[in-house]
Structure 1
Amino acid sequence: MAEDDERRCTTGIDGLDTVLHGGLVPGRTYMVTGRPGTGKTILGQHFLTSGPSESSSLFVNLEESESDVRANAETLGFDLEGVEFLDMSPGSEAFTDGQQYEIFAPSEVEGPDVVSAIDERVRELDPDRVFIDPLTQLRNLSPDTYQFRKQINGLIQFFRQRGATVLFTSQATPESPDDDLQYVSDGTFELTRTENGRAISVPKFRGSGTEDGHHSVRITDEGIQVYPVLHPEVHSQDFTSEVVSSGVPEVDQLLNGGVERGTVTVLSGPTGVGKTTLGTQFMKEAAGRGERSAIYMFEENRATLLARCESVNVPAKTMVERGTLTIKDVTPLDKSPAEFAAMVREEVEQRDARIVMIDGIDGYRLSLQGDEADLERELNSLGRYLKNMGVTVILVDCVDNVTGQFQPTKSKVSYLADNIVFLRYLEMNGRLRKAIGILKKRTSDFERTLREFEITQHGITVGKPLTGLRGVLSGTPEFTDEGSADGR
């Protein structure tokens, strides 16, 4: 055989190979099951066209004609030029002549014998990879269930003797389940549709461990992409525990020097109060150290952010040009949580991003199309992964109240945060002003006062602690006898 039994056999889909800890075990037989339209045939085409140049592949098509298969594959960019076919699909004459399709009939009935035809073609080609689509078609052509199981067992043993790696699809129905095929196969791939799109799971895989869970699947113009479920506990790297400065002395004083590397910080406050600007300030300071940062915009577009940063003395455009900042627009309903996690992982593992900001949590929630528990679980996994990788995480959380009752966070993610920095509108002497404070810091003490917060054309300005005031968190503070009209 052309492929080395000592190494894995790629499926042709990087994400699926990751789920399988490297790919298929050569010389074994695997089943792909799922409802129509979930991508079973496309997966098989990836498999057939991803072998080494010296390997050979055989497509046994029992449903679609070879011409239809090739035409459909071409629209997805698959080159099936080097793939051999054994076309045993029903021809139109089977219907125009008023005959039944009996391509695999009892021995006493005249007609081609499918198993014999496959046997002959495999002996002739000696293929490394075989894809049968769908194998369950043989059930319809067998005289009874006993004969079907007997022939399938014999066929699988024949492939094992030849050393071929085999993938076959199954079309199960309530009347004809495919449990018997699951037993005889070495592995099973289940393609399903979910609220968030498509998914693949691997409930059975002999000879190796796999990544558990339902992994996100997207079918594009280039075929199937698989985004494995993020398991943060298997990812880590050594990093130096140090304080990350904001570059604004008064903000650092509130935070007892800054935020620690490898921690999660929630920036909370109503719309327009300055959360994103404060987050980019940390990135501006990081760029000065030569570190790379990444912003994922769920609720604002890249052009708007760049323009706004330039107006407040954050040179985001220059940072992007120099490679110290990347800004990516994310359309919430276009990305599943697993797809988004894959984007972040690429930025961290391939481009060494040291600060990641998600702006904002409400937009991220839309990508889940689920309940609050889904949000907490997915965001917790992503946060733990980033912390394990030594990345400083900034989550922007928009609360509803402009003034009035204090609301520290809206998305119930405060338990994920190592640090919570809140921004607040204040109504003072008929003028709308802003305040900044720290609600939580796990790794050290922090300043428990509130300071006035202002964004100018020169950047962020933070005043002295607001003293002589009471009811600041209500949004409508009152001066005490010691207070002053300017609130400083």
Structure 2
Amino acid sequence: MVWSAAVSVPIETTPRFATGVPGLDRVLHGGLPRGALILVEGAPGSGKTTVALQFLIQAVRAGESCLLATSAESPQQLRSIAASHGWSLAGINITGLSEPPSAEEGLDYTLFPEAEVEIGETFDHLFSEVERLRPKLLVLDTISSLRVLAPTAAFHRRQLKRIRDFMAARDCTTVMLDEASTTEKDLRSKTLSDGIIELRQKPSSYGADRRALRVSKLRGCSYMSGSHDVTLAAGGLTVHPRLVAQSFPSLVTATALDSGNSEIDALVGGGLPRGSNTLIAGPAGVGKSTISALYVMAAAKRGEKCAVFLFDESEESYIGRSEGLGLDMRVEVEAGRIELRHLDPAQLSVGEIADLVVDRVEKQGVKLVVIDTLNGYLQSAMEEPSVILHIRELLSFLSRRQIVTIMTLTQHGIFGTELFSPLDFSFLADNVFLLRFFELSGALHKALSIVKKRSGPHEHTIRKLTMRAGGVDVSEPLTSFTGVLTGTPVYQAESIVPFP
């Protein structure tokens, strides 16, 4: 590996081995180093065998010989795992580490014995298979069997070093699977390994468990550090690399996005600047989604693509409510200019959500992103302490790509000054819309004001917001009332602060 004089990032010279795992090569900056000894560790059920099979299947696709030496699964179990993902094991050589291989249904396979044979016989069999097949990828599933045969930690280290040196001399990439542990013998495998990939499974009190992957070591090579969300479903394991906004170039600023409602645009001081994010906060039912829908429709009518991620209502409910306000959203959805996507916070991690957003922006050319609501996004994070960092990075990415972002936030409570938010996001927002209910003359009304606009002037007034069949009305500034945002306004015969 050498370093570029122009930038402080390494220029890789180490040949890489593609993994076949979606997203993992991005984390590894190109794949596994060829000839390296890689340890993949995790608790039972974390996906070690699945990811190893993906490595092997990718090797077969690339026309390279590969070998799986296993003690963890029987032939039937391996076929069952492969079938559950729609895979075939054709082309993968499978063997044990003691007995000569047998050919059952075209697959070479013998079980890995643990204490029944001497370690010398075990290695002789493995190395003879390597000499016969000349694989470019060897997977050992699992090295716990080697650990059982080793009488001491020092002996176990010599075993692993022997494997590493033998395979490296034959330019074979070796992947060892093991359960995560901190015993002395287990730590030997970590010190000898050129790379370590950790698979973790985080239990959830409700909904799907969360999975994560971390590369904690990759000797002599660059990689993306940190925790990366993972999904394991039919088709295999998928890695969602953590979002790094600075890795995306900044685009040139375009014209602002208006709402299609002149009164709202007057409040905002024009349209929403490109690359800005807007927080619309207020209690349930006050009109947050309605205002976001106005911007979505205005953008779609100009031919711009929009992505609306819904946590709290279905696509049909969103369309039906919009149509009741005179917004012909179904036409724009069917034309492909608006995508409505319902997300289940019990099933999706924040990494998956970020991947969806990046895909819509980079591959589909979306110019407006709506997250409705941030409350649902927080539920996806499962009270993760770094959720603010997740949101900050996502907003930074959208800003660099000149995307207009609208986020709604439901505040707890209905009336008065006792409303509160699950988290304070206002410091992250470029623009903040505040909506409130207020009571006047025995009727319930809604108020709209702009409390923040980072990039320019805006009105500091409060206007009455009315949703009616066929449209949305915004009144002139309520200059004759005070205390509107408290929910109980007081009438003043004359305006206290003249409105120009």
Structure 2: which 5+ residue stretches go unaligned?
1-12, 101-112, 204-208, 496-500
SS, match of residue 349 in structure 1? helix
Distance change >3 Å, CA 470–CA 147, structure 1 → 2: closer
SS, match of residue 296 in structure 1? strand
Is 1:117 the counterpart of 2:129 in the alignment? no
Give the deviation of 1:411 after TM superposition.
2.8
Correspondence 1:99-138 to 2 at 5 A: 101-105=114-118, 113-138=121-146
SS, match of residue 408 in structure 2? strand
Is 1:282 the counterpart of 2:295 in the alignment? yes
Is 1:204 the counterpart of 2:242 in the alignment? no
Distance 2:471 2:185 in 1: 65
* CA deviation string 1:62-84 (max 9, x = no partner): 23223322222222222111101
1:253 matched residue in structure 2 = 266
1:67 matched residue in structure 2 = 76
Give the deviation of 1:48 after TM superposition.
0.3
* 1:347 alignment partner, one of 348, 352, 360: 360
Give the deviation of 1:243 after TM superposition.
1.6
Structure 1: which 5+ residue stretches go unaligned?
92-99, 108-112, 484-488
Give the deviation of 1:10 after TM superposition.
1.2
Correspondence 1:342-381 to 2 at 5 A: 342-370=355-383, 373-381=385-393
1:186 matched residue in structure 2 = 194
Is 1:25 the counterpart of 2:38 in the alignment? no
2:435 matched residue in structure 1 = 423
Is 1:80 the counterpart of 2:89 in the alignment? yes
Q: Is the 8 A contact 1:63 1:88 kept in 2?
A: no
* 1:413 alignment partner, one of 402, 422, 425: 425
* 2:399 alignment partner, one of 383, 387, 390: 387
Distance 1:85 1:400 in 2: 58
Distance 1:443 1:406 in 2: 30
* 2:339 alignment partner, one of 310, 326, 346: 326
- Aligned AA for 2:395? G
2:106 matched residue in structure 1 = none
Q: Is the 8 A contact 1:29 1:186 kept in 2?
A: yes
Distance change >3 Å, CA 90–CA 429, structure 1 → 2: farther
* 2:286 alignment partner, one of 273, 290, 312: 273
Q: Is the 8 A contact 1:103 1:114 kept in 2?
A: no
Distance change >3 Å, CA 175–CA 417, structure 1 → 2: closer
* CA deviation string 1:431-470 (max 9, x = no partner): 1111211111110111111111111222221111112112
- Report percent identity of matched pairs: 31
* CA deviation string 1:135-177 (max 9, x = no partner): 2311212344333322321221111111111111123545454
Distance 1:106 1:45 in 2: 26
Segment of structure 1 superposing worse, 257-266 or 397-406: 397-406
2:414 matched residue in structure 1 = 402
Root mean square deviation, CA, Å: 2.1
2:160 matched residue in structure 1 = 152
* CA deviation string 1:280-314 (max 9, x = no partner): 11111111221111111111111111111111122
- Aligned AA for 1:250? E
Please give the TM-score of this superposition, normalised by the length of structure 2. Answer: 0.88
Distance 1:172 1:287 in 2: 50
Correspondence 1:294-313 to 2 at 5 A: 294-313=307-326
Correspondence 1:225-240 to 2 at 5 A: 225-240=238-253
- Aligned AA for 1:347? R
SS, match of residue 334 in structure 1? coil
Runs of 4+ in 1 over 6 A off after TM superposition: none
Q: Is the 8 A contact 1:263 1:393 kept in 2?
A: yes
Q: Is the 8 A contact 2:311 2:372 kept in 1?
A: yes
1:262 matched residue in structure 2 = 275
Q: Is the 8 A contact 2:36 2:194 kept in 1?
A: yes
Please give the TM-score of this superposition, normalised by the length of structure 1. Answer: 0.91
Distance 1:314 1:136 in 2: 62
Number of equivalenced pairs: 465
Distance 2:319 2:21 in 1: 36
SS, match of residue 58 in structure 2? coil
Distance change >3 Å, CA 144–CA 423, structure 1 → 2: closer
2:234 matched residue in structure 1 = 221
Distance 1:55 1:68 in 2: 24
1:455 matched residue in structure 2 = 467
Q: Is the 8 A contact 2:157 2:185 kept in 1?
A: no
Distance change >3 Å, CA 106–CA 283, structure 1 → 2: closer
2:498 matched residue in structure 1 = none
Is 1:169 the counterpart of 2:182 in the alignment? no
Q: Is the 8 A contact 1:361 1:411 kept in 2?
A: no
Distance change >3 Å, CA 248–CA 106, structure 1 → 2: closer
SS, match of residue 356 in structure 1? strand
